[in-house]
């Protein structure tokens, strides 16, 4: 993927819509989606081209429409991967995860043991996944 500090607001907005939809779409299908209300066709096509050029969109297949073929596109990375990359470019690193989690919880205004239990369970799942990945890489 090409190095890019940040996307434009329109590019990021389109990626967020595509992450939410979670299925490959042609540009024509994107234009027909209710989520795209307020986007004119020229802006949509320009934004799709820009994201494709920056390698934030990948081709997932082709769809025949009348006599032509259209590319089915999807984000080339997850929302979490994109925002993790932004945070790392801004100077945050893996050591910041605990503080970021605490900040998220504070910003969300959530409190209580049930929420804490959910967060702990999610973090334990992430830790287990990372341990398994490390073991596989080390051949254990």
Residue 73 clears pLDDT 90, i.e. is over it: yes
Q: How does pLDDT run across 88-100, given as a tens digit for each residue?
A: 888 887 777 777 7
Question: What band does 1 get if pLDDT is binned at 50, 70 and 90?
Answer: low
**What's the pTM?**
0.72
* φ/ψ of residue 130, rounded to 5: -65, -40
Structure tokens at 71: 């590319």
Q: What is the mean pLDDT of residues 18-32?
A: 93
What integer pLDDT is reported at residue 107 of this predicted model?
Answer: 65
Question: What band does 67 get if pLDDT is binned at 50, 70 and 90?
Answer: confident
Instruction: Give the CA distances from residue 17 to residues 5, 14, 36, 39, 55, in Å, rounded to whole numbers and listed in that order.
Output: 20, 5, 8, 12, 17
Structure tokens at 42: 């020229």
- Would residue 103 be called left, alpha or beta, if left means φ above 0 and alpha means ψ between -120 and 50 degrees? alpha
What integer pLDDT is reported at residue 140 of this predicted model?
Answer: 59
């Amino acid at each position: 993927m090409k190095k890019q500090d940040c996307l434009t607001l329109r590019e990021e907005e389109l990626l967020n819509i595509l992450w939410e939809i979670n299925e490959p779409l042609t540009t024509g299908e994107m234009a027909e989606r209710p989520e795209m209300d307020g986007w004119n066709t020229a802006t949509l096509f320009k934004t799709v081209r820009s994201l494709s050029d920056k390698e934030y969109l990948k081709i997932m297949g082709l769809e025949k429409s009348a006599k032509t073929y259209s590319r089915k596109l999807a984000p080339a990375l997850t929302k979490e991967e994109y925002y993790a990359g932004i945070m790392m470019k801004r100077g945050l690193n893996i050591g910041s995860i605990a503080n970021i989690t605490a900040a998220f919880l504070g910003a969300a205004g959530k409190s209580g043991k049930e929420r804490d239990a959910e967060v702990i369970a999610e973090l334990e799942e992430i830790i287990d996944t990372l341990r398994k990945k490390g073991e596989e890489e080390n051949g254990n």
